[in-house]
Amino acid sequence: MKTDIFKFKGNGKDKVYIKKISQTLRDGGLVVLPTETVYGLGGNGLNKRTCKKIYEAKGRPSDNPLILHIADNSQLDDLVAEVPEVAKKCIKKFWPGPLTIIFKRSDKVPDEATGGLDTVAIREPSNKIAHDILKSVDFPVAAPSANLSGRPSPTKVEHVIEDLDGLVDIIVDGGHSVVGIESTVLDVTVDPPMILRPGKITLEDLQEVDERITIDSATIDSKSHEVPKSPGQKYRHYAPRAEAICFGGRLDKLVNEIKKNIEENKGKKIAVLATEETYDEYENTGVELLINLGSREHLEEVATNLFDALRRCDEEDTDIIFAEGFELRGMGLSIMNRLLKACGGKVVMRI
């Protein structure tokens, strides 16, 4: 299949692109769209065949449900059985934005979108291009992250092209995703409501709406229960090809630990995921790829750069990645959730 790439420039041409995109979506085609979190691989979420095509293009197991994206929360009533009070408050505060909410689904939503579950994940993105695309059709757009299954989520159009060129009808180039990690997933079908995937909207943010909101322990410890609450938790996401180890604990100690490990692994192609505060420590240590993820004072910056860094480790064919850890609160917890998945749970903690 030939994939068209549309770069939005904020001029009259964008309207022509939107028309082509909405026609393609109506015809059951696949369109990669930018969102504020990561790029999404979109198709008509109410069309069974299109949902199947999404799974095929990604190489994703069909029991891992999709998120339905909407332009406006007036679309919600049709898709869900009920909107609990806590969800109403979260919607008011955080939509449009990087929060996905899990509801009991209505009959309109096909099994193919939810992996057969009786719940459905819904989100209203804030990205302007995504919004314009979603507004141009009269159905929700199902969109998992636009990466091949098992690879880090795409935050730049280059990542999407690398994974999906030739497998989708259209790729929209919307520049670098601003958030850089996927949306927070909040399940309001359980009491108290529970975060299944942490993101830019943190536990602390959500507890301001309802202090009873909790977070699934599996977000940090993947082996904490046998049956995952979110099917996505059982798959190794965000994975670079190299072995990756995350070092936790006090900053000075973890830096020393990483330096010791660099020494012990001489001869291997090593990548280090460092931060603004520690970058200098690893210069002249002979590592192949030294990446500054950003400042520990601005974890939003670290989140934005994380997936690109993991992909760069692959490009450079590194054998082993040493990643600095972050505190398990606020955005730090969301970043650690992604890092730990990338590391397949391999973590060295020195407190």
Contact residues toward Mg ion (CB under 5 A) are 145
Of 45 and 248, CB closest to Mg ion? 45
Within 8 A by CB and 6+ apart from 39, the residues are 32, 33, 145, 146, 153, 154, 155, 157, 159, 160, 174, 177
104, β-bridge pairs = 119
**Cβ-closest position to Mg ion:** 145
Q: Would you state the torsion angle of the CA atoms of residues 23, 25, 26, 27, taken in this order, to the nearest 10 degrees? A: 90
| CA separation for the pair 197, 186 (Å, rounded) | 7
Of 239 and 272, CB closest to ligand TXA? 239
Residue 76 and residue 70 in contact, taking contact as beta carbons nearer than 8 Å? yes
CB of 106 to ligand TXA, least distance (A): 13
State the chain's maximal CA–CA distance in angstroms: 61
Task: Determine which helix (DSSP H) or strand (DSSP E) holds 31, and give its type and residue range.
Answer: strand 31-33
| CA separation for the pair 84, 104 (Å, rounded) | 10
66, interface contact from Mg ion, ligand TXA, none, CB < 5-8 Å by kind: ligand TXA
CB of 249 to ligand TXA, least distance (A): 28
Question: Cα 243 to chain center, whole Å?
Answer: 21
Q: Is 90 in the site for ligand TXA (CB under 6 A)?
A: no
Residue 41 and residue 143 in contact, taking contact as beta carbons nearer than 8 Å? yes
Residue 342 and residue 240 in contact, taking contact as beta carbons nearer than 8 Å? yes
CB of 91 to Mg ion, least distance (A): 23
Q: Is 70 in the site for ligand TXA (CB under 6 A)?
A: no
Q: Is 305 in the site for ligand TXA (CB under 6 A)?
A: no
Site string for ligand TXA, 49-68 (x = CB under 6 A): ---------------xxxx-
CB of 328 to Mg ion, least distance (A): 22
Q: Is 141 in the site for ligand TXA (CB under 6 A)?
A: no
| CA separation for the pair 67, 54 (Å, rounded) | 12
Phi/psi for 324 (5° steps) reads -70, 145
Q: Which stretch binds ligand TXA (CB under 6 A): 13-21, 166-174, 177-185, 319-327?
A: 177-185
Site string for ligand TXA, 227-246 (x = CB under 6 A): ---xxx--------------
CB of 115 to ligand TXA, least distance (A): 7
Q: Is 119 in the site for ligand TXA (CB under 6 A)?
A: yes
Residues in the site for ligand TXA, rule: CB under 6 A? 35, 37-38, 40, 64-67, 100, 102, 114, 117, 119-121, 123, 143-145, 182-183, 185, 196-197, 230-232
